[in-house]
Amino acid sequence: MRLNLQILRDELAPLEFSSHLAPGAATRSCTFALPYVPAEPLEEGPVYVAQAGELPEHPAARGVASVICVGEPPAAWRHGNLDVLWCDERAVDARSLLARVTRSFARHDEWERSMRGQLAEEGQPRELELVLEGLLAHRLLDERRIEAASAAFGWAVHDHYLCVSVASVQRGQSQERLGATAASLSALVGQLACVLHGEHLVVVCNLTRAGTDEEGMLRRISGVFVPGLLAVGASTGYADLKNTFYYYNQTLAAARLGSLRAPGEACWRYGDYLLDDMLRRVRLRQIPDALTPTGLLALMEHDRTHGTELTRLLRGYLDRDRNVTRTARDLFLTRSTCIRHLEQVREISGLDLDDADVRLACSVALRLQGR
């Protein structure tokens, strides 16, 4: 498990930290702890432990540096391209904090070596693990290296794959939970490979080698996933090992959305949340009104002004494939009332609901609007 500030914050409990994390903090990893030395530039990789009074007004850093500070750092440190944690200076001194961070790295290194040793005993080569780590971190790797590492394991780059991510719900118990999960899966090494990435155990399953499909593989491994203790996301299938990064992101989205929609499940599958994730990604980059047809905005404004529910009727009509009878029944309207209100929808919005593209744009926009 590669440590980062998100994981270290849990490791250092009961100390309480405020934080500023630059984008991508969950996938960054830190390698060791260092005391902060004034006037020396910060590098990406180490975790620097500092006293707030030692810090200049503006940080000098190469890459996204990681800093744990005793006392509140200056404003530029709290808003810059850095990962920063800080705690009350009365809670601990910098020297003691550095010792605790160093012990966390040592403990994790020992645990990781032990788990790798167990997987190696079952035949998982270290080179394949390094290649998978690089793919998950979205690093540019030589295709010949990927092919060679796969072939040495009896895999081919264009076999069919499934990616599964596993995280502990209680982060303070990540080591024990993920270690036990990896041990339970180690008998299937060859059909799958395990790698630690951030706070996740990532399981890359070779469906071709296993002689099964997505459903079969999930049935094969799902017995080790305990609801309430582990958060498990599964991707859709894919046919190029080099694309593992994108399907790993599917697993994270599945776990994030699934934990909200179906918290009792042992494993959340991305295919069940594809549309939700598409809409979530769109909302991150654009406001819903800017992606809503003008006529639909006019209809929504009419509802706000007159207290009508024509937008709800339109959503119901589109969701039922424009079947008037089903729409009327499900929305508790008479058929004639439903038809009359649909005419109002057309008059107010000017939308051509006979055009498939218009219907699709309205359906997506209604979901973006939460209608």
Tens-place pLDDT, residues 229-239: 899 999 999 99
For residue 29, is pLDDT > 70?
Answer: yes
The tokens for 98 are: 């550095």
Q: Is residue 108 part of a domain?
A: no
- 147 shares a domain with 268: yes
- Assigned domain for 301 exists: yes
For residues 240 and 169, state if they share a domain: yes
Mean pLDDT of 349-367: 95
Q: pLDDT band at 171, cuts 50/70/90?
A: low
Angle at 10 between CA 7 and CA 16, to 5 degrees: 130
User: Domain check: are 148 and 192 in the same one?
Assistant: yes
Whether residues 143 and 270 share a domain: the answer is: yes
Instruction: Answer whether residue 110 is part of any domain.
Output: no
To the question of pTM greater than 0.85 for the whole model, the response is no
Is residue 364 assigned to a domain? yes
Residue numbers of the domain that contains 40: 5-103
**Res. 86 pLDDT band, cuts 50 70 90:** very high
Instruction: Report the C-alpha gap between 187 and 118 in whole angstroms.
Output: 10
Examine the domain organization and report whether 262 and 293 are in the same domain. Answer: no
245 and 294 assigned to the same domain: no
Edge-first strand order for the sheet with 66-70 is 18-20, 83-87, 66-70, 47-51, 33-35
Asked if residue 222 and residue 139 are part of one domain, the reply reads yes
Q: Per the structure, how many domains does the chain have? A: 3
328 in the same domain as 236: no
pLDDT digits (tens, 9 = 90+) for 90-149: 999 999 999 999 998 888 787 777 777 777 777 888 899 999 999 998 989 999 999 999
The domain that contains 347 carries what CATH number? 1.10.10.2840
